[in-house]
Amino acid sequence: MAPGREERPGGGGTRRLSAASLEERLDEVLFAAQSRRTTTDLARNLADLPRVQQDMVLHWTEVATQTYAEVAWLLPKLAPRAVGLLDAEHFGTWVLSALDAYDRVGAREAMQTLRAVEAYAASLERVAVAVDFGQEEMRLSRLLQGLSGRPLGLRAGVSAWTDTETLYLPARMDLLPTADENRRLYKATTALLWAQTRHGTFGSADLDLESALSRFPDRERALEWLAVLEAVRLEAVIADELPGLAAEIQALRGPWPDALMPLVPRLHRPDATLADSLALLEHCADTEAPALPHCGRLDPAAALAVRSERIARDIQVLRKALAVMKAAGCMKPGGDEEPLVTAQGAGDAPAQVKIEGDLQALPPEGRAAARSLVQDLGEIPPECLVPAGPGLYDPEARPRQAEEKDEPVPPPACDYRYDEWDYHRHAYRKLWCHLYEHEVREGDSNYVPEVKQRYAGLIAQIRRRFEALRGETRMLGRQPDGEEIDVDAQVEARSDRKSGVEPSSRLFCRRVRHDRSLAAMFMVDMSGSTRGWINDAEREALVMLCEALESLGDAYAIYGFSGWTRTRCDIYRIKDFGQAYDERVKQRIAAIEAKDYTRMGVAVRHLTAILLQQPARHRLLITLSDGRPDDFGDEYRGQYGIEDTRRALQEAHAQGVRGYCVTLDRHGADYLRHMYGPAGYTVLDDVKKLPLKVADIYRRLAT
């Protein structure tokens, strides 16, 4: 390009565009001819800008035209002012924010946004240093978890405060001049709020905060002061345990304000408590409280409500735990008088209770409740150490005795007890289901041979197909090391040596196993609804499966399940993992019969537990069923049962057990997907296909 000659705009050159060519270009972009407006002034406006900025303005003007022409006309006018305030990136975001305002609100708003370029630039400066709660949440919540004590929630709010169970932090922190400092401020505030809940800002067993505050006529000011005084006191507490964190807080807050200086020594004494803060409050509550960036505000009303509710709950849990220990025989049976119970344990972690002179470890939930009580009250009130009686209100259970009256009297002792998931409550009902494991009595010894005869062709086919999948052990010869000497290699080496050739050092055999390492559990629905065809199909399907799995060599077990309410969940053992597929197993398959109801969750939990004992790399839990989870007379029918089963399957999954369901319920697609996931089930439309399909399904799953 010849020097002095002007470049075409957008041509990628570096020379500044003249007013004339800018005008030409703007006319093009803004369709000036149609709007009968002239771009001469606009072009003159841009003529002095460097070429890069000229191109930038032209580019964004073109972008703006696509949305709203007026914005595009305004842009070149404001551009000289804007480029002085914004860099290239923010110039773009400025235009986009105007276009965004047009989309959201309208033309007026868009023009205003664009004109307010100074305000936009100023907000950018703040944005650069502001830190969002969302960015920091993960880190802060881990910090909180690391700091000991009761678990605390973390949430964004308007200001920083805590109700003793959740810490609320401002959604955005931009008080301090740099982002890093704002980040630290989040941390310091979190630490202080944590310390408030951990070290008695909301009172103890013998200090009631609310009544102490009632002495002050100006409650708002008293609270402001108290927050500040507590911040001073708690900083010393933090410094004792976490000096690094305290140093960080100190650096953030700077030196104490003058008003606080005389008060600091008393609050920094190692034995200072809330009482000291309250005593000092008497002297200063009539002046203006100094401001500390991290101290947040106090809301004793909200905090004390949450606190007293929690204390009541903890006392119940603790007393219940003691009652369970008593019932479990930890306490000696004796007269009517209550056993002597005293808490043991140094400082704030009473892990044991002394019952009639014997030390007993509390169960985990009892220990957590005890710890929480000590944190709230400074001690465990003596009335909590009385075990709960039978009539005690149970926070775990809703009133439902009326329904349960119809239940059959439970047999004396069950084999296992399992938790059940209550989706209403979003919690487990502890040890809710009573499970009994039965052996199926042997049935007709001719049944299996008959089935095998009937399906002889299919079985031969299945066997062939499955044999091909079987893993084998191979001996690899001529290895550098291994269990055995490779005689061939050894002979060769000797002859090599004799003839003066360097012998190979690969003289060993090594056994390599292609291990499938898979354990499969078949969970067969034995509910009343399977009576008839379905039961026959299930049994035939099991015969097919056994034939297939025998040729494959996978470890497998077969259990049936049924039941009648939560107090009688039955599991029928048909084939154990350790058992061979022998005459007795065959007779038990023959004896599978329809029984009662389908309480599925507990069966999944029990069979998962059995499956987990298998030393296999992959574990499969396959359910053969004809319908949704269901049980007699209580809410298990419907969503409750589906949610509990889903939960049980999730638990199984977390332990490495993959669930799969083969069902005959054609309407099952809606809930099965919810329970097993999209790829976790097969619906067969015809009962008769079950025996033919089930081996195939297994092959698909297990290879």
Partner 1 sequence: MTDIIATLAPQLEHLEKEPYYHPIGDEVALFEAAYARRLPVLLKGPTGCGKTRFVEYMAWRLKRPLATVACHDDLTTADLIGRYLIVGDETVWVDGPLTAAVRAGAICYLDEIVEARKDTTVVIHPLADSRRLLAVDKRGELLSAPDDFMLVISYNPGYQSVLKEIKPSTRQRFVALDFDYPEPAVEAAIVAREGGVDADTARRLVKLAELTRNLKGAGLDEGASTRLLVHAGQLIGAGVAPATACTAAVARALSDDPDMTGSLDDLVHAVF
Examine residue 656 and tell whether it contacts partner 1 (CB under 8 A): yes
15 touching partner 1, by CB under 8 A: no
Strand 166-170 to 555-563 pairing: unpaired
- State the minimum distance, in angstroms, from the CB of residue 18 to partner 1: 52
**Inter-axis angle of helices 88-104 and 117-129, to 10 degrees?**
110
- What is the token pair recorded at 123? 């907000």
Size of the site for partner 1 (CB under 8 A): 26
Task: Report the residue from 88, 119, 122, 138 that binds partner 1 according to the rule CB under 8 A.
Answer: 138
C-alpha to C-alpha distance for 152 and 156, rounded to whole angstroms: 13
Does position 112 bind partner 1 by CB under 8 A? no
What strands lie across the sheet with 341-344, from one edge to the other? Answer: 341-344, 352-355, 358-361
Q: Which stretch binds partner 1 (CB under 8 A): 9-17, 72-80, 444-452, 483-491?
A: 483-491
Choose which of 35, 112, 123, 148 interacts with partner 1 (CB under 8 A). 148
Q: Which C-beta is closer to partner 1: that of 19 or that of 143?
A: 143
Question: Could you count the other beta carbons within 10 Å of the beta carbon of residue 291?
Answer: 10
Beta bridge partners of 621: 521, 659
367 binds partner 1 per the rule CB under 8 A: no
Task: Give, as one character, the DSSP assignment of residue 639.
Answer: H
Give the residue with the Cβ less far from partner 1, 241 or 635: 241
Q: Which is nearer to partner 1, 145 or 287 (CB)?
A: 145
Shortest reach from residue 126's CB to partner 1, in Å? 25
Among 112, 214, 655, 703, binds partner 1 (CB under 8 A): 655
Helices (H) and strands (E) counted in the chain, each on its own, are 27, 19
Point out which span in 65-73, 238-246, 420-428, 551-559 binds partner 1 (CB under 8 A). Answer: 238-246
Kindly write down the DSSP assignment for every residue of 138-175, as one continuous string.
HHHHHHHHHS-SS--EEEEESS-EE-SSEEEEESEE-S
- Terminal Cα-to-Cα distance of the chain (whole angstroms): 69
What part of residues 158-187 is at the interface with partner 1 (CB under 8 A)?
Answer: 187
In sequence order, the β-bridge partners of residue 435 are 416, 569
Interface segment toward partner 1; rule CB under 8 A; list 62-70, 138-146, 434-442, 634-642: 138-146
For position 244 contacting partner 1 by CB under 8 A, the verdict is: yes
**Which of the residues 486 through 525 are near partner 1 (CB under 8 A)?**
490, 507
Do the beta carbons of residue 59 and residue 76 sit within 8 Å?
Answer: no
| Strand-strand pairing, 555-563 and 508-513 | unpaired
Specify the DSSP class assigned to residue 299.
-
Q: Which residue spans within 338-489 are E strands per DSSP?
A: 341-344, 352-355, 358-361, 416-422, 427-439, 473-479, 484-485
Contact pattern for partner 1 over residues 195 through 234, marking x by CB under 8 A? ----------------------------------------
Q: Is 467 in the site for partner 1 (CB under 8 A)?
A: no
The site string for partner 1 over 588-617 (x = CB under 8 A, - otherwise) reads ------------------------x--x-x
Instruction: Give CA angle at 443 (683, 627), nearest 5°.
Output: 20
Q: What is the phi/psi pair of residue 519, to 5°?
A: -120, 130
Q: What character string, x for contact with partner 1 (CB under 8 A) and - otherwise, covers 657-686?
A: ------------------------------
Of positions 47, 116, 121, 143, contacts partner 1 by CB under 8 A: 143
**Is residue 3 part of the contact set for partner 1 (CB under 8 A)?**
no
Residues that bind partner 1 (CB under 8 A): 138-139, 142-143, 145-148, 187, 191, 241-245, 248, 483, 485, 490, 507, 612, 615, 617, 619, 655-656
